[in-house]
Structure 1
Amino acid sequence: MLSRIAESLFWIGRYVERSDDTARLLDVHLQILLEDPWAEVDLACRSLLSVMDRPTPPDDVAIGRVEVLDVLAYDRFSPSSIAGALVAARENARRAREVISTELWESLNATWNQLPSHMRPARPHDYFTWVRERAAVVAGIIEATISRDETWAFLVLGRSIERADMTARLLMTRALAGTGGPGWTTLLRSCGAHEAFLRTYRGIASDERAAGFLLLDRLFPRSIVYALDQADACLAALEPVVDRATVDDARRHLGLVRTNLEYRPLADILDSLPHEMEQVQRACAAASDAVRGKYFPSAAATTWVGENL
């Protein structure tokens, strides 16, 4: 597979997942601001922008819901926003048109065409719901129409790395907001995990168990450990181990942070949750850089072979 095609597939997976998870995160936090009359809107919005690695205005400039939505939801020119991620996913699909299924291309193209009519509705929740539905359609088409070859591996690798990173950001916002932030039940619902959580623990819920479910559950697709494990499986499928004494850089970054979560007491992780989630984000960024350097080094110099013209 050409490196430019592999890169486009990887970023399709990341951008679609980014739009989905950003919609979930914004939906939760904007709902909290609406329901809590005592919420410090400016501080909450600055914290959210900081967690999402977006620059914040000077302290003397007030930030509210409108500014956060403009930056994280409606900016079509920034791949860090919902609209920008959907635009970027469609552009990468256009570049990889020869290897993706017709259904996947039509779904991403239809999402791009419908985007202007769904932006800036009277209720932002309607926009977030539409984004989640479109991301679910894309994910279903990937699972149903793509052979389990390199095409599928790069798509799911990008999606898994992005999911682990974004779930870590969601949990970090909960930790930084303290008692004024969304409760664990709200976070479970935002990830579509509430019913699965209740079935797992037979309705005996607690904050510690809810946190552990989103962090460590090995069967729920949106937990951090599950996403890291799936990313590792995709990397193993792309290049089976030849030298038994070494391991790929991307797999090393993901494996270290995954085992750090899996084999430590949950109470220790929760005591330093912001730090632990920052480590997950750093590992995902390092793994993404390692994948980029190994499979699609765009900065490689061009060398001419044959007669100089």
Structure 2
Amino acid sequence: MLSRTAENLFWMGRYIERAESTARLMEMGQRMAMLPGAGERDEWRSVVTSCGSAHHFDKAERISEVAAARALVLDGDNPSSIRACLSAARANGKAVRTALTREMWESLNDGWRKLESVDPGAQSLRRELPELLDWTKRRANLLRGAAETSMLRNDGWDFMRIGGFLERADMILRLLDVKYFVLLPETDVVGGGRDHHQWTSVLHATSATRAFHHVYRGDYAPWQITDFLLLNRAFPRSLSHCYRQTLGHLEHIERRYGARHPCHDTALAMVERLESAGMGELFKQGLHEFVSDALAVTARLSREIKEAYHF
């Protein structure tokens, strides 16, 4: 496969995953904003920080739902916005049109200009936002479903899935880090009622509520939620699952070409690190320290993949 084709599929996978993750974070923000005292805590800042868009707002500015939606849903100039991500995913897919099946291209192309026609007025946007977020998640699911049922399990499949899993790993790490250090800067509320609602909002944002209940039977202790989202191999949005899948796809490519690169060793080292971690260990030893290091490893892994396959 040409490096250019691999690169476009890799980034198509990343951008479609990023669009869905942003929609999920916006939904989390809506839930948190309904909690008592949300206005004083500037809950929406945690959402824009998770998406890497805090620099679009003044530090002294209190961010509203409408302002967050304009930046994270409609702003085509913000590379983290849903509109920009879906546009970039389509552009990458169009560049390698022959590598996609008809079903995949239709899922990318149908209605892709929808967000351009949305009224950015406060009242209209607030009313339409839930439907727009649902529409975004459906777009992502349609592409993944089309790929799952129609795409050859070749290099293109592997690079697209690697991009998606790396983006998913990055977002779960950012979400956990911001949850602990932006949403809850006051140590006296950790473990309290508000803390409980905000930690469970993280489960909602990752569609993990039912899966978590099956494992922990409703015991929503912060360290157990952290363990589930970082270490549970069976949950498809956990860090462990994302890294195991990334490693698996890298190994597929390695077997095809008989060449191993530093990216393989980086992914393997993280998988082994996560598998050796004990229950509650990451939370107790320092969630922020682990997450910061894991974010750096994820960024390095992305660079190593690009270098190995000449993106």
Per-residue deviation at 1:113? 3.2
Residue 186 of structure 2 corresponds to residue 147 of structure 1: no
Match of 2:268 among 241, 249, 255: 255
Output one character per residue of 1:57-97: Cα deviation in whole Å (capped at 9) or x when no partner. 44444433333222222112333111110000000010010
- Which residue number corresponds to residue 267 of structure 1? 280
- Which residue number corresponds to residue 124 of structure 1? 129
- Which residue number corresponds to residue 219 of structure 2? 205
**8 Å Cα contact 2:50-2:171 kept in structure 1:** no
- Which residue number corresponds to residue 218 of structure 1? 233
Give RMSD over aligned pairs. Answer: 2.3
- Which residue number corresponds to residue 166 of structure 1? 171
Per-residue deviation at 1:291? 1.2
Task: Determine the C-alpha separation between the residues in 2 that align with 1:263 and 1:56.
Answer: 39
- Which residue number corresponds to residue 48 of structure 2? 49
Task: Determine the C-alpha separation between the residues in 2 that align with 1:212 and 1:59.
Answer: 32
**8 Å Cα contact 2:261-2:308 kept in structure 1:** no
Number of residue pairs matched by the alignment:
292
**8 Å Cα contact 1:46-1:56 kept in structure 2:** no
- Which residue number corresponds to residue 306 of structure 1? none
- Which residue number corresponds to residue 304 of structure 1? none
Question: Which letter maps to 1:11?
Answer: W
Per-residue deviation at 1:39? 4.0
Match of 1:194 among 188, 193, 209: 209
Task: Determine the C-alpha separation between the residues in 1 that align with 2:44 and 2:198.
Answer: 17
- Which residue number corresponds to residue 301 of structure 1? none
Alignment of 1:1-309 (within 5 A): 1-42=1-42, 44-54=43-53, 55-117=55-117, 120=120, 121=125, 122-176=127-181, 177-178=183-184, 179=189, 182-201=197-216, 203-207=217-221, 208-240=223-255, 242=258, 248-271=261-284, 272-297=286-311
Q: Provide closer, same or farther for how the CA distance between residues 60 and 188 of structure 1 changes in structure 2, counting only shifts above 3 A.
A: closer
**8 Å Cα contact 2:32-2:38 kept in structure 1:** no
Per-residue deviation at 1:213? 1.5
Q: Provide closer, same or farther for how the CA distance between residues 98 and 197 of structure 1 changes in structure 2, counting only shifts above 3 A.
A: same
Task: Determine the C-alpha separation between the residues in 1 that align with 2:205 and 2:119.
Answer: 20
Q: Provide closer, same or farther for how the CA distance between residues 269 and 5 of structure 1 changes in structure 2, counting only shifts above 3 A.
A: same
Q: Provide closer, same or farther for how the CA distance between residues 25 and 9 of structure 1 changes in structure 2, counting only shifts above 3 A.
A: same
- Normalised to the residue count of structure 1, the TM-score between the two structures is 0.86
Structure 1 segments unaligned to the other structure (5+ residues):
298-309
Moved more, 72-81 or 148-157: 72-81
Q: Provide closer, same or farther for how the CA distance between residues 119 and 276 of structure 1 changes in structure 2, counting only shifts above 3 A.
A: farther
Q: Provide closer, same or farther for how the CA distance between residues 225 and 118 of structure 1 changes in structure 2, counting only shifts above 3 A.
A: farther
Task: Determine the C-alpha separation between the residues in 1 that align with 2:49 and 2:210.
Answer: 31
- Normalised to the residue count of structure 2, the TM-score between the two structures is 0.85
Q: Provide closer, same or farther for how the CA distance between residues 29 and 275 of structure 1 changes in structure 2, counting only shifts above 3 A.
A: farther
Per-residue deviation at 1:111? 4.0
Q: Provide closer, same or farther for how the CA distance between residues 101 and 18 of structure 1 changes in structure 2, counting only shifts above 3 A.
A: same
Q: Provide closer, same or farther for how the CA distance between residues 41 and 112 of structure 1 changes in structure 2, counting only shifts above 3 A.
A: farther
**8 Å Cα contact 2:12-2:93 kept in structure 1:** yes
Per-residue deviation at 1:296? 3.0
Percent identity (aligned): 30
Q: Provide closer, same or farther for how the CA distance between residues 189 and 252 of structure 1 changes in structure 2, counting only shifts above 3 A.
A: same
Give the SS at the match of 1:239.
Answer: helix
Question: Which letter maps to 1:157?
Answer: I
Per-residue deviation at 1:110? 0.8
